[in-house]
Structure 1
Amino acid sequence: MELDRRLLLAHCTAHALSIVAGLLVVVPMALNGSAFKGRCALFSTGYWRTETRTEITGQPGDVSHLVIQQWGPPAACQFATFVGIFTVLYGAAQGWRCLFYLHGRHDDTLFSSFLTVLLSVCVLFLSGGASVILSLGLVSWCDTVTDDNTRPHSCAESQTVPLYLDVNTSSFYTDLNLAQVSLWCVTMLWLIQSILAFLRLYHSHSQHMSGPCRPREKEMLLGHSPSESRSPSPPHPAATPTLLV
């Protein structure tokens, strides 16, 4: 297929940005999972309790600490991580293909362009679902940490407040919020990739349909029809002599 450099360059840029955005999803989620010892903070339920315990601080007095009733489902965190990993791997593979096509000055076939559109649309819905799950899960965790906004600190400030859990909560909001923003960026990039893939499919279809018609259009512009150019011209009848009286 004839190459459209503008579409291909735009697609290469989208793939490069998707690699960066995917890494900004995977790395914070991995750091949060390591800090929480493999537990998922999304959709976790708990409550605050105030009691006098010297075991918590080592000093007598009233201490407020967070009690986790149930940690969130691991699939909620794993789904977002999976979308990020797939985006990085797919962006790297497709970015290499784009560079190969730019060097070879050709584009995908019609069938390959159709598969690219189908895959982009499917992953668009997956990344959108993962973004919604991550956002709702973070809101649920923030409600638990702030006791439905009744605590004197916000969700962002809660990572600097001792929660007295058996996990490291010193950067949970930074990690999860960065992963949330990056995952929404991944969703937007998948939307852009779906549009660009459809435009490349339309371009390939146009090239495929207009290819056989070009010789015929050239002959029509020259004033000759294909049938006339193929069939030999009929012989001229011989002139009959006339008798002069």
Structure 2
Amino acid sequence: MGVGNMLLLSQLTAFLLSFILSFFIFIPMSVNQKEFSGHCLLHATGKWDNSSQLESVEWGPSSACNFSIFMGIIIMMSTLFYVILYFLYLARETDSSWLETFITTIVSIVVTLLLFGSSLSVSVGMKTWCEFLTSPASQISSCDLADFIPFSKELADIDSSNFYTEIKITEFGSWTSLICWLFLAVTSVVKIIKFQQHETFMSSMNRERQRLLQKVGHRSDYTV
């Protein structure tokens, strides 16, 4: 297998891995929102009463959770397309054109930046929520031990039994997928550079061929 095919195979592997990881992003976050009655716990804070019961909650912006779900779905659809496309390239022992590689590079850079923002929002939002849960008034020592939060009657319809696992899975999927897309962006840039080097090489060869043909022509005229 040539170097070009190895690069194509590595990109196909990264797309396939990111496709799998996309389910780790939007599924647990969607389940968490459903269990929290549509509320987003990212960046959420609240108030504890004197008996260490959660009295009220100022929920985080819905856009924080929805953006993570949106990114997971977008990644799933885009990677599925690229997995099929690159698998066909690999099976036919061909590769993408310069234009296709350029578009993939732009897509990879944009997705990487959006994923970074989404991953950062999940991590910072979870940290804010955990700092609130483990405040002295709550008497909860660790965020992973706060699965069963004593909510007040107004918030009794919320199921918080799996929130820590769900958000941690989302966080893992987001950051790991970010690494995949960063790798894809770098390899796409490498392929563009190779295209440019190839074009330069072919142009040089064409000029050299023309120069040799001109020399042969001059010699033929001199002989005659």
TM range (shorter): 0.7 to 0.9
Which piece of structure 1 moves more, 176-185 or 226-235? 226-235
Cα separation, 2, equivalents of 1:233 and 1:103: 49
Secondary structure in structure 2 of the residue aligned to 1:135: helix
Paired position in structure 1 for 2:212: 225
Checking the alignment, whether the CA contact within 8 Å between 2:133 and 2:143 is kept in structure 1 is yes
The one-letter code matched in structure 2 to 1:78 is: N
How has the CA–CA distance of structure 1 residues 102 and 3 changed in structure 2, closer, same or farther, with 3 Å as cutoff?
Answer: farther
TM-score between both structures, scaled by the size of structure 1: 0.81
How has the CA–CA distance of structure 1 residues 190 and 146 changed in structure 2, closer, same or farther, with 3 Å as cutoff?
Answer: same
Is 1:74 aligned with 2:52? no
Coordinate RMSD, CA, aligned: 2.4
Q: Which runs of 5+ in 2 are unaligned?
A: none
Checking the alignment, whether the CA contact within 8 Å between 2:46 and 2:58 is kept in structure 1 is yes
Paired position in structure 2 for 1:200: 191
Paired position in structure 2 for 1:171: 162
Paired position in structure 2 for 1:19: 19
Checking the alignment, whether the CA contact within 8 Å between 1:45 and 1:71 is kept in structure 2 is yes
- The within-5 A match list for 1:1-245 is 4-50=4-50, 63-147=51-135, 151-164=139-152, 165-166=155-156, 167-214=158-205, 225-230=212-217, 233-234=220-221, 236=223
> Identical aligned pairs, as a percentage?
26
**How many corresponding residue pairs?**
220
How has the CA–CA distance of structure 1 residues 209 and 31 changed in structure 2, closer, same or farther, with 3 Å as cutoff?
Answer: same
Q: Which runs of 5+ in 1 are unaligned?
A: 51-62, 238-245
Cα separation, 1, equivalents of 2:217 and 2:82: 46
Cα separation, 1, equivalents of 2:206 and 2:88: 30
Structure whose residues are more often helix by fraction: 2
Q: Which has the larger radius of gyration?
A: 1
Cα separation, 1, equivalents of 2:5 and 2:97: 15
Cα separation, 2, equivalents of 1:106 and 1:188: 26
Cα separation, 2, equivalents of 1:20 and 1:99: 16
